[in-house]
Structure 1
Amino acid sequence: MQFVTGGAFQGKRQWVKSQIETYTWINGYEDELTFVQPLTSTVVLEGCEHLIRRFVQEEGAEAVFKWQEVVQFYEAWEREDDGRNVIFIGCEIGSGIVPIEAENRLWRDVVGWCYQHTAKKCTIVTTIWSGIAKQLK
């Protein structure tokens, strides 16, 4: 599994698309997340922060556990076949800024905890800033 992160509009989507040819793209900004077996060997899950926001709205801080289930599902799916690959794309949403609203502070915190879990589970972690990729792990 891979995790690609960085600021908004820094080139994450374009970079990922330049790395792969065929894929199932799940847009967390628009699509509902379902646990359906993908049709291609590569799955890209973009908009992780938005999916996590939905989980926070439904479950509060317990959203961390729901996100861990998502990662676990795709980790198991990827392990079923050597040719499979999962790429998570998530925007960095905090940058040290503490939101005034309690709900947004909780969302920021949960995203951070979820990203830590994701980075720990992924074999490759890349950050993208100004269209430049830097592999962290």
Structure 2
Amino acid sequence: MTTTPTSQQLYRFLEDRFACAQACTECARACAVRASLTDPDGSECHDRVRRLGIMCAEVCDATCRVLGEECRQDEGEIRVRLEWCRSVCLECARAFDAQPGAESAAATCRSCADACSEFLQTLA
């Protein structure tokens, strides 16, 4: 027997979904900006950080698009997407931690990872 969610549960679900999508958008922007600031002729470490920033921006952008779709989606698919996004954001934040001047981008990545975690809890 399936239970119908209450209006309060539905509201929280939609609110968390929007907050996660918004955090993904902010993270994508921060990562793209940070990646463009990384010296392209720099060391292998800088190149790794730049690539990771670009990948994080792409993952966040794709996650935001999935969360913004109005059609019914498989909860398992959304869960996998959120877990992937959270993982990439945390990895990117750790990489940005080692970069001078990247504190804001690292914090934005962590905020996105937190939003993904919070939204995952509403799916449980």
Give the TM-score normalised by structure 1. 0.30
Bigger strand share: 1
Give the TM-score normalised by structure 2. 0.32
Higher RCO structure (Cα 8 Å, ≥6 apart): 1
